Amino acid sequence: MQILRNARIAGVGGGVSGLLNGASIAIEDGRIAWVGLDADLPAAHSDAPTRDLEGRLVTPGLIDCHTHIVHGGDRAGEFEMRLEGASYEEIARSGHGILSTVRSTREADEEKLLALALPRVDALIAEGVTTLEIKSGYGLDVASEIRMLRVARRIGKVRRVHVVTTWLAAHALPAEYREDRVGYIREVAIAGMERAHAEGLIDAVDGFCEGMAFTRDEIATVFDRAIMLGLPVKLHAEQLSDLGGAAMAARRGALSVDHLEYLGADGIAAMAASGSVAVLLPGAFYTLRETKHPPVEALRTAGVAIALATDCNPGTSPLTSILLTMNMGATLFRMTPAECLRAVTCNAARALGLADRGVISPGAHADLAIWDIRHPAELSYRIGFNPLHARVFGGRYV
């Protein structure tokens, strides 16, 4: 048992509007055992080792619920092409784009991919991230997709961060299957998923539903097999056009549907009915200089929970700052600072199907971020400033 006292706590029980001042958190065996006012600390805990937080703000450890952080290479050249006027789809269809990252990722062995990913992971950890989702999707053959997820699992062993893995073989069609889409879905997306699942490498299954990627029906085939294996699904949908992907995923109980700039009323209604979280990715919106906004107000009205994530990837969102992501959620998407905090704590946990984190309440993982600020709004208000004082990971102060 250990006590953190004299804290200002946001995120008690998932609510962040009510700040608890002069408060304590009791931690035991890596979990939160008690939270409340200093004065109300149960006598049974009173001789436990205590750390005075001197009035600092404490939030749940932050959760980045959508990343492609494991990959080879970079796409600075493509960035320059886009600045000269080429569109993301034109670049992708001409064999650059995602497929150029696939070439670099296939060339890199496990050690190399790990070494390339760790500095990006460390940047997130330095901003209070304690849970991180990592997708495959730049291998596009069974061995390379599996290698990406092995690296993802290793990150969770060599760093103090929980890693949640996602199988995203249905991300792009590799050149060797250009004439055989059905074969790719069957031999790589589905057969690879079965193999990776047998190795315990998959926590959820994703797809990219878009004109330049896969159709709703192609992804539905992968999802239906995933569900038979007991794996939850989520989807990249309605990023560049409305193909009805969100509704297809919601009908399959998707944990989340992500991007959503082009989401329409039917998709919103389907997500509200299924309880799928809307994961908004302002880094991709910003990088692509998208002008169509995700329907934040309609999602709110429908009661759809909103999360924010970096989408850290070398093409459309070379972003390794969860704090800047929160700032973009507020400034670009007009989310309130309280919504931005929920978007990277309790709602991000929900997007990963995890009920045991993202809140400061008894039974939750003792994963916390301690900040040198007074009000949680400062987390989304500042641009490029990191006020993290310390993290608590699994009950350990680091």
Binding site for ligand DI6 (CB under 6 A): 97-98, 101, 171, 208, 236, 239, 284, 311, 313-317
Q: How far is the CB of 75 from ligand DI6 (least distance, A)?
A: 7
Q: Which does 59 bind (CB under 5 to 8 A by kind): ligand DI6, Fe ion, none?
A: none
In angstroms, the Cα distances linking 264 to 7, 148, 172, 211, 349 are 43, 33, 24, 17, 25
Q: How far apart are CA 344 and CA 358, in angstroms?
A: 8
The radius of gyration of the chain's CA atoms, rounded to the nearest angstrom, is 21
**311 counts as binding Fe ion under rule CB under 5 A:** yes
**Closer to ligand DI6 by Cβ: residue 171 or 391:** 171
Tokens of 301: 């009205």
Q: Which does 197 bind (CB under 5 to 8 A by kind): Fe ion, ligand DI6, none?
A: none
**Closer to Fe ion by Cβ: residue 272 or 281:** 281
Beta strand pairing call for 368-371 and 388-393: antiparallel
Residues between 145 and 164 that touch Fe ion (CB under 5 A): none
**Closer to Fe ion by Cβ: residue 134 or 272:** 134
**Closer to Fe ion by Cβ: residue 87 or 301:** 87
Q: CB of 139 within 8 A of CB of 195?
A: no
- x-or-dash string of contact with Fe ion, 256-275, rule CB under 5 A: --------------------
**Closer to Fe ion by Cβ: residue 210 or 311:** 311
Element containing residue 166 per DSSP (H, E): strand 162-170
Which amino acid, residue 272?
A
Q: CB of 58 within 8 A of CB of 357?
A: no
Report which DSSP code applies to 145.
H
Q: How far apart are CA 264 and CA 282, in angstroms?
A: 18
Q: Which does 72 bind (CB under 5 to 8 A by kind): ligand DI6, Fe ion, none?
A: none
Helix axes 98-107, 142-158, angle to 10 degrees: 70
**Closer to ligand DI6 by Cβ: residue 118 or 288:** 288
The answer to whether the Cα torsion of 308, 147, 102, 105 is positive or negative is: positive
Q: Which does 208 bind (CB under 5 to 8 A by kind): ligand DI6, Fe ion, none?
A: ligand DI6
Q: How far apart are CA 62 and CA 167, in angstroms?
A: 22
Q: How far is the CB of 232 from ligand DI6 (least distance, A)?
A: 18
Q: Which does 130 bind (CB under 5 to 8 A by kind): ligand DI6, Fe ion, none?
A: none
Q: Which does 287 bind (CB under 5 to 8 A by kind): ligand DI6, Fe ion, none?
A: none
Scanning 15-23, 157-165, 185-193, 311-319 for contacts with Fe ion by CB under 5 A, the matching segment is 311-319
Scanning 155-163, 294-302, 303-311, 352-360 for contacts with Fe ion by CB under 5 A, the matching segment is 303-311
Q: Which does 2 bind (CB under 5 to 8 A by kind): Fe ion, ligand DI6, none?
A: none
Q: How far apart are CA 153 and CA 117, in angstroms?
A: 12
Q: How far is the CB of 91 from ligand DI6 (least distance, A)?
A: 9
Beta strand pairing call for 57-60 and 368-371: antiparallel
Q: Which does 101 bind (CB under 5 to 8 A by kind): Fe ion, ligand DI6, none?
A: ligand DI6
Q: How far is the CB of 236 from ligand DI6 (least distance, A)?
A: 4
Q: CB of 384 within 8 A of CB of 324?
A: yes
**Closer to ligand DI6 by Cβ: residue 127 or 210:** 210
**Closer to ligand DI6 by Cβ: residue 277 or 364:** 277
Query: Which residue has the CB atom at the shortest distance from ligand DI6?
Result: 315
Longest dimension (CA), the chain: 71
Q: How far apart are CA 355 and CA 241, in angstroms?
A: 32
Q: CB of 63 within 8 A of CB of 352?
A: yes
**Closer to Fe ion by Cβ: residue 59 or 316:** 316
Q: Residue 97: count other Cβ atoms within 10 Å of its Cβ.
A: 21
Residues that bind Fe ion (CB under 5 A): 311
